[in-house]
Structure 1
Amino acid sequence: MSQIHSLSDDQVAGELKKMTAFIKQEADEKANEIRIKAEEEFAIEKSKLVRQETSAIDSSYEKKFKQASMSQQITRSTVANKSRLRILSARQELLDRLFEDASNKLAEVSKDKGRYQGILKNLILEGAYALAEDKLQVKARKADYDIVKKAIDEAQSEYKSNVGKETSITIDERDPLPEGSSGGVIIAGTGGKIDINNTFEERLKLLESDALPSIRVTLFGENENRKFRD
């Protein structure tokens, strides 16, 4: 204590200055440490936040990308289905018109008497071969009775020549075909219990059913049909 009192004012001021410089240096070093640590923690936190945000952005982008891809697939599928349906509809309309035109032209066949008689003969023969009975009846339009009788005579003669036995074929005048029919005949056997419908309308229906695959190939091509079936 006596030693401190022995220091001069200048010495005391110098000591205080040293102590102040030391404390300031300590404070600066501590502040620097705190700053460095804060910067490190900031960098770590920043990196963490950046990773989190990046991950969130990636996740959001991936989700949106999947949604966009799914939406695109749905749109593509919808467009493809609509196109397919339009094409199929157009094809069906074409086929419907084709058979409608054929139906409208059926009545014209009977106008050529020579050709019509030959067709009737073959239709009657077809029924006779199928039924193979001794007595048969033929239903036809009243307007066709004269030409049907001639066709029957030819059919009976050809049947006997090919089969070796006779069959009696008559016209069933009690139940004629409607006058609105396009032509052709119905051949009945077993007392009318069994018949074969060889009218033009019925033959066209059979053609529409049985020949449709071949018609489709002819009109649209085999590969196209397979593609649309798949």
Structure 2
Amino acid sequence: MSHVHAMSDDQVSNELKKMTAFIRQEAIEKANEIHIKADEEFAIEKSKLVRQETAAIDSEYEKKFKQASMSQQITRSTVANKSRIRILSARQELLDKLFDEASKKLKGVSKDKKKYQDILKNLILEGTYALNEENIQVKARKADYDTVRKAIEEAQAEYKSKVGKDVSISIDESDPLPDGSAGGVVVVGTGGKIDINNTFEERLRLLETDALPSIRVLLFGDNKNRKFHD
């Protein structure tokens, strides 16, 4: 007790200063620890938030990219379809015009009598070969009867030389083709039960259907390797 009371004020003051310094040092160290820990937790939380936001941005970007890509594909497909439709429409318009002009020219074929007679002979022969009968009748325009008779004579002679047997071909004057017809003949067999329509109008119609693929290739080229084809 005497020793404690013997401490001077300076000694007490020094002891207090030491204790204060110690407490302050501990506080500073604790504060540093808290600061470091806070920085670490902040860095972890920040990294977590950054990853979450980055993932959200990536997801949103991917979504928008897919939407933009799909929109682009739809636009490309729409443009392609419109182009295809325009191409097909232009082609069909050209074909329609072609057959329309051909139809208008049909009536002019019969004006050249020699050429027309040869065409009639071949049309009659084609029907005669197909029917393969002894008696054949031919329907024609009244105005063509004289030319048809000459064509029949030539057809009979050629038939005999090619097939080796006679055929009797006559005009069915009871049922002529209409005067408005462009020409040609209808070849009739089996007592009128079977007929082969070899009129110019029918031959053109067959061209317009059966030969259309070949005409397309001739006019527009081979479409097999093209992107747009019909």
Q: TM-score, normalised by structure 2?
A: 0.89
Query: 1:148-187 to 2 correspondence within 5 Å?
Result: 148-187=148-187
Moved more, 69-78 or 114-123: 69-78
Contact 1:142/1:179 (CA < 8 Å) preserved in 2? yes
| TM-aligned CA deviation for residue 229 of structure 1 | 4.1
CA distance in 2 between partners of 1:157 and 1:199 (Å): 22
Match of residue 49 from structure 1: 49
CA drift at 1:7: 2.8
Conserved in 2, the CA contact under 8 Å of 1:187 and 1:195? yes
- Write the distance in 1 (CA, Å) between the matches of 2:3 and 2:49: 60
Residue 205 of structure 1 corresponds to: 205
Report which stretch shifted further, 115-124 or 65-74: 65-74
**Partner residue in 1 for 2:73:** 73
Structure 2 residue aligned with 1:103: 103
Q: Does the alignment pair 1:40 with 2:40?
A: yes
Structure 1 equivalent of residue 89 of structure 2: 89
Contact 1:121 1:151 in 2 (8 A): yes
Of 59-68 and 7-16, more deviation after overlay is shown by: 7-16
**8 Å CA contact retained: 1:217, 1:225:** no
Q: How far apart are residue 200 of structure 1 and its match?
A: 0.5
Alpha-carbon distance between aligned partners in 2 of 1:202 and 1:141, rounded to the nearest angstrom: 15
Structure 1 residue 8: Cα displacement: 3.1
SS of corresponding position for 1:195: strand
Per mean C-alpha deviation after superposition, the further-off stretch among 198-207 and 212-221 is 212-221
Shift of 1:2: 5.0
The DSSP-based 3-state class of the residue aligned with 1:111 is: coil
Distance 1:159 1:193, change over 3 A: same
> In 2, Cα distance between the equivalents of 1:134 and 1:75?
66
Alignment correspondent of 2:191: 191
Per the TM alignment, residue 186 of structure 1 is displaced from its structure 2 partner at its CA by: 0.2
Per-residue CA distance 1:50-92 (angstroms, 9 max, x = gap): 1111122122222222222222222222222221222122122
Counterpart-to-counterpart distance in 2, 1:27 and 1:210: 103
Question: Partners of 2:20 and 2:217 in 1: how far apart?
Answer: 106
- Percent of matched pairs sharing the same residue: 78
Deviations 1:106-151 (A, max 9, x none): 1110111221112112111221222122221111122222222222
- What is the DSSP-based 3-state SS (H/G/I as helix, E as strand, rest coil) of the residue aligned with 1:118? helix
Q: Secondary structure at the match of 1:31?
A: helix
Partner of 1:137 in structure 2? Answer: 137
Partner of 2:112: 112
Aligned match of 1:4: 4
Distance 1:90 1:2 in 2: 125
Distance in 2 of aligned mates of 1:28 and 1:190: 125
Figure out how many residues of one structure are paired with residues of the other and give that number: 229
Question: What SS does the corresponding residue of 2:95 show, helix, strand or coil?
Answer: helix
Deviation of 1:103 after TM superposition, in Å, equals 1.3
Mapped partners of 1:170, 1:226: distance in 2 = 51
Q: Is the 8 A contact 1:131 1:189 kept in 2?
A: yes
Unaligned 5+ runs, structure 1? none
Deviation of 1:161 after TM superposition, in Å, equals 3.6
User: How far did residue 33 of structure 1 move?
Assistant: 0.9
Shift, 1:35, TM fit: 0.7
Q: Deviations over 1:21-66 (max 9, x none)?
A: 2211111111111111111111111111111111221222222222
